[in-house]
Every structure is written in C-alpha cells, then in structure tokens.
Amino acid sequence: MYFYCEKCKKEYPISSHFYRCECGGMFRLHKEAAEPLETPITLGDFPTPLLPIEAEGKDFILKLENLLPTGSFKDRGAKTLINAIHRDGIKKIALDSAGNAGASIAAYAAAAGMECTVYVPDDASLETIAQIEGYGAKIVKVPNGRMNACTAVKANLGDAYYASHVYNPLFFEGMKAMAKEMTDQLDGHIPDYIFIPVGNGTLLIGLFLGFMELGRLPHFVAVQPSKCAPVYEAYHGLDPQPKKQTIAQALRIEEPKRLSFILSAIKASFGDVITVEDKDILSAKQRLGHRGVYVELSSAAAFAGALKYFKNGKPDNYRVILPMTGNGLKR
C-alpha cells in the first residue's frame, strides 16, 4: 500500500511527511485488492441503519451516519486513516477542520494513543471545539476562516504527520465502505440516486470509489448551499459568485482541493449539482426533527435537495438515499 501522485505517478510511502507530490499533484492510494486493511483501533463503530421516510408523497431512505461514535460519517475515514498510520509508527498528528473531521480524527487518535493538534477557524462552533478538546486534542484557533486554518497547519507541522481528511487518500479509503454497506442493506441493489451535501467532497469521492469497486454507480446529486456553491458553478460553467456565510457550516468550503475529481465523479454517474437556500435547509432540518431524526444542517441540505430535485414527482421504484452525515447535537 502506498500513495502515488495523480499527475506524475511518483510514489510515496504512507508514512511520508509529504502530503502532496513535489510536483503539486494530489495523492491517490494504491492498494492490492487482496491486501486487507486491519483495523484493531476501534470505537465500537457499526454498520449504520437505513430508515425509510415519506415526504410530500414520495419515499426516501435515510442512511443514519449520525449514529456513528463521534456523531458523523467522518468516523469511517478517520478509523482507516488512524489505523494505517498507527501501524506505520506515526505518533503525532496535526490537521485542520471546522468540525466533524476534527472530532473524528481526534477521537480515533485518542484511541490509538497519538498526540493530536487540530487547527480550527476561530468561528468554529463551541460544540465542535468542546468535542475535539474532550478527546484530549490540542486546539489552535486561526482567525479569518477555514482556508487560513489549512494554511496555518501546513506551515506549522514540525514533526507532526498531516492527517488531513482532504489531502490524505486513506480517509477516502475508509469512506468507501459505506457504498458496499448500503448495497448489502438493499439486498444487493445499487441505489438509483444519492443526494450528497458537498463541501470538500469527502463523502462524494469516497462513495464514488466504493461504487466503482462494486461495478456500477448510482446517480450522484451534489447539493450545495446557494451562498457557497463553487462545485455548482464549475459544473454548470457559471461565473464564480462571491462566497457568503451559510448556516450549513460544514459546506462553507470556498475552494474544494479536489474539485476536478468531484466534477468527473458526478459526470461519470450521470448526476447533477443543485443548490438549496438556507431557509429550505432550516425547514428540512425541522421536518426531519419532527419525525425524530435530529441531524446537523448539512445533512438536512441533502433532504432539502431531494425535495427540490423531485418537486414534480419521483418514480416509486427509485431507491433514493439521503446520508444523514452528522448529529444535530453538534449544531
């Protein structure tokens, strides 16, 4: 198992302190099909259930990732990443995150006995910061937004390994499991549509890689808040608009690092990219809450997106999955 550059194909070991190629290309993971990824470090994670719901006369299927140990889907990536680098002897890590990834990686790092520092934008939610600190990680607050947190961690790594959920392909490797899991739960059927809230595209890329291994792709519909929609603009060839604050904090990513990968995955799936308004995200969160499903706003964006996309009807036989990416207690 090793990393290679997606541009020039140069190879790097997993434990490398390079987080991208010297040529500037992003890393991908090379792994032999038969090579098992052992994961002795666990927090009691489990296959998350599917929950059918009906709304506006249409049926959807929620994938309850909000029930994972730290309350978000990112536990899947964190588990694989931490297990692999722990096996390679890494003892000290740093990363940047505005929320769920920071909590997930801090939790699994704690289980592995690693020293962990998380750079967060200084407007990150208090709940998020409290959770990351609760796992014993050190917090460094960085002013002026998420991108600055990314720049700051890279400039101050020292001897720490950059355990990034955006740069490090081991994170996507962990996300892949969700594709196989939901297909098994659907008695071997690949879903027809998956509505995916997209910020950095972690979930979309992970699911794409997972379904590629299964041999068929669902239609991926990426959902972005209209106030910050770089993937939507790029996909539809629109002029970039100024990026504003949205209530869906996890989706406030102005420049996704793997944009071209995200676009090609959506195209390959004959999917689409749509936007939703903050007020619709809020109303979708309430509707889910009033059915007993309490999720964070970015998860509600997927539901709002599905309602918008199928406004004029949805064929009954379409299996439409809405991943509930995070617990509402987070914010």
**2 or 270: CB nearest Zn ion:** 2
Q: Which of 3, 14, 19, 21 binds Zn ion (CB under 5 A)?
A: 21
117: which 2 tokens? 């520092």
Q: Which stretch binds Zn ion (CB under 5 A): 24-32, 40-48, 202-210, 288-296?
A: 24-32
User: What secondary structure letter does DSSP report for 295?
Assistant: B
Paired with 176 in beta bridges are none
* 28 scored as a contact of Zn ion (CB under 5 A): no
**23 or 130: CB nearest Zn ion:** 23
Q: How far apart are CA 107 and CA 94, in angstroms?
A: 13
| 262-268, Cβ contacts within 8 angstroms, sequence gap of 24 or more | 262/198, 262/201, 262/204, 262/205, 262/222, 262/231, 263/231, 263/234, 263/235, 265/204, 265/205, 265/208, 265/220, 266/204, 266/220, 266/222, 266/235, 268/208, 268/217
Could you tell me the smallest distance in angstroms from the CB atom of residue 236 to Zn ion?
A: 30
**164 or 299: CB nearest Zn ion:** 164
**29 or 301: CB nearest Zn ion:** 29
Q: Which of 5, 41, 85, 90 binds Zn ion (CB under 5 A)?
A: 5
**8 or 214: CB nearest Zn ion:** 8
Give the DSSP H or E segment for 287.
helix 278-289
Give the DSSP H or E segment for 196.
strand 193-197
* 7 scored as a contact of Zn ion (CB under 5 A): yes
* 26 scored as a contact of Zn ion (CB under 5 A): no
Q: Which of 11, 17, 23, 42 binds Zn ion (CB under 5 A)?
A: 23
Q: How far apart are CA 302 and CA 174, in angstroms?
A: 21
Reduced to 3 states (helix: H, G, I; strand: E, B; else coil), residue 60 is strand
**23 or 238: CB nearest Zn ion:** 23
Could you tell me the smallest distance in angstroms from the CB atom of residue 89 to Zn ion?
A: 25
153: which 2 tokens? 């961690």
**20 or 146: CB nearest Zn ion:** 20
Could you tell me the smallest distance in angstroms from the CB atom of residue 19 to Zn ion?
A: 13
Q: Which stretch binds Zn ion (CB under 5 A): 7-15, 101-109, 189-197, 272-280?
A: 7-15
Q: Which of 15, 16, 25, 28 binds Zn ion (CB under 5 A)?
A: 25
Could you tell me the smallest distance in angstroms from the CB atom of residue 24 to Zn ion?
A: 7
Q: Which stretch binds Zn ion (CB under 5 A): 9-17, 173-181, 231-239, 290-298?
A: 9-17
Q: What sign results for the dihedral spanned by CA atoms 138, 139, 142, 147? A: positive
Write the CB contacts of 254 (distance below 8 Å, at least 6 apart in sequence): 146, 147, 228, 230, 243
Reduced to 3 states (helix: H, G, I; strand: E, B; else coil), residue 9 is coil
Write the CB contacts of 56 (distance below 8 Å, at least 6 apart in sequence): 307
Q: Which stretch binds Zn ion (CB under 5 A): 22-30, 96-104, 167-175, 236-244?
A: 22-30
Per-residue CA distances from 269 to 77, 199, 264 (Å): 22, 19, 9
- Interaction site with Zn ion (CB under 5 A): 5, 7-8, 10, 21, 23, 25
